Amino acid sequence: MAAIAGCCVIAAPLAYSQTNGIFADFTTSMGNFTCQLSYSNSPMAVANFMGLATGGRAWLDLPSGEMRHTPFYDGLTFHRVIAGFMNQGGSPNGHGTDDPGYAFVDQFSPLLNFNDPWVLAMANSGPNSNGSQFFVTVAPFASGNNIYVILGGVISGTNVVSAINRVATDPNNKPLTNVVIQHIAIRRVGLAAQAFDINAQGLPIVTNLVLKLDEGSGKASLTYSNRLFCDNRLYSSTDLSSWASNMLGVEIAAPFGNTVQVTSDAPQQFFRIAQIQYPSSTFAPKDLLGRTLTLIFTGVGTNTVVFDKAGGGTYNFPPVSPGTVASYSWTQDVYRGALWPIKYSGLNDMTLLLNFTNATGGSFSGTVYNASPFPVSGAFSLK
């Protein structure tokens, strides 16, 4: 999931104060370092980081579906270290493939950049996919400007950050010996820092809902309180230890349902539902049935795909002859969707990630698969 390609630092006009401000004191298994958080220029990302570090904002335990208010980062590792570049942490499973159960949008400031080392920033897997993973740079990374959201910068303990960056790693850049984040303490110094409200920055809100159960012959009906712009996730278990999740999707338009039918096929079953409330629409629809997708490939041409309501469709990609959509798999994610893959009657298979910037379009990237697969990108519209 969250991956990054560089480093970051604060622009010269934004000099760090050693007295007033909001500070994050990292205690790690290799020593301590401190970052100052730029809450006035990156309020959403800073509020998220503070809320996770302290447990002041709820997050979702993905394996169990439980809302939690404990310090998120305690005990996690720097799971990805690239020598001469950066140290990345914030993944509960230690593989960089998970998050706190939600995503939030990019928020860039012209006062924050990666032109110098020692920058603290959010890792991501594309536009508007910030969660819990972060990285600290040890070198300039100007190509990361306006791609990765900057939180602040290191003001003390750069020797510790450098030492972490020199640890031995495997071929996937994972340290051979775990570097553990033992704790991140947040300090507020000064009236402005004390007044910064982490709950007033438009972040998603995580809750567990009450479920109403109506049981019938071999079936059960689960009813819950649903709302617009909510991401609902149903969890089930037979032993209260191992939980299976079912993504019910993000509600981007009314009408929407509030009942799930499940099979009652075990002596005992337990259910839990988690809901993530977003402040506004995340745009990506639950399905593409009856929609027209126009893909404008950079330097290649335009492919117009018309999806029918039976799981297929047609395409027109001049100068290639028009054809049919043999099959496709659509996954709705927060702020984006994935055609993973889409197969055509007369074109090569593709995997495409659609990043929505509004209700009808955005940008895409992906891969075309032939004897030598190659990357593609461009803009899209969806009607």
pLDDT digits (tens, 9 = 90+) for 29-82: 999 999 999 999 999 999 999 999 999 999 999 999 999 999 999 999 999 999
Q: Compute the distance between CA of residue 1 and CA of residue 249 in angstroms, rounded to an integer.
A: 19
Task: Report whether pLDDT(268) > 50.
Answer: yes
Q: Compute the distance between CA of residue 283 and CA of residue 360 in angstroms, rounded to an integer.
A: 8
Q: Which residues pair with 301 in a beta bridge?
A: 297
CB hemisphere CA count around 87 (13 angstroms): 26
Residue 109: CB atoms within 10 A of its CB come to 17
pLDDT digits (tens, 9 = 90+) for 326-379: 999 999 999 999 999 999 999 999 999 999 999 999 999 999 999 999 999 999
For residue 219, the model assigns a pLDDT of 87
Q: Determine which of 8-17, 100-109, 202-211 has the lowest per-residue pLDDT on average.
A: 8-17
Amino acid at residue number 11: A
Q: Residue 152 burial (CB < 10 Å; 0-12/13-18/19+)?
A: buried
Tokens found for residue 103: 């995503």
Three-state SS sequence of 110-127:
CCEECCCCCEEEECECCC
Q: Long-range contact list for 66-75, CB < 8 A, 24+ apart?
A: 66/208, 66/272, 66/274, 67/206, 67/207, 67/208, 67/274, 71/183, 71/184, 72/100, 72/132, 73/132, 73/181, 73/183, 73/184, 74/181, 74/182, 74/183, 74/184, 75/180, 75/181, 75/182
The residue among 309, 313, 280, 275 whose CA lies nearest residue 294 is 313
H/E segment holding residue 294: strand 292-297
Q: Residue 341 burial (CB < 10 Å; 0-12/13-18/19+)?
A: middle
For residue 15, the model assigns a pLDDT of 52
Q: Determine which of 8-22, 66-80, 121-135 has the lowest per-residue pLDDT on average.
A: 8-22
- Please list, residue by residue across 31-68, b when 16 or more beta carbons sit within 10 angstroms of its beta carbon and e when fewer do: eebbbbbbbebbbbbbbbbbbbbbeebbbbbbebbbbb
For residue 291, the model assigns a pLDDT of 98
Q: Compute the distance between CA of residue 380 and CA of residue 336 in angstroms, rounded to an integer.
A: 12
- Please list, residue by residue across 263-300, b when 16 or more beta carbons sit within 10 angstroms of its beta carbon and e when fewer do: eeeeeebebbbbbbbbeebbbbbbebeebebbbbbeee
Q: Compute the distance between CA of residue 360 and CA of residue 352 in angstroms, rounded to an integer.
A: 16
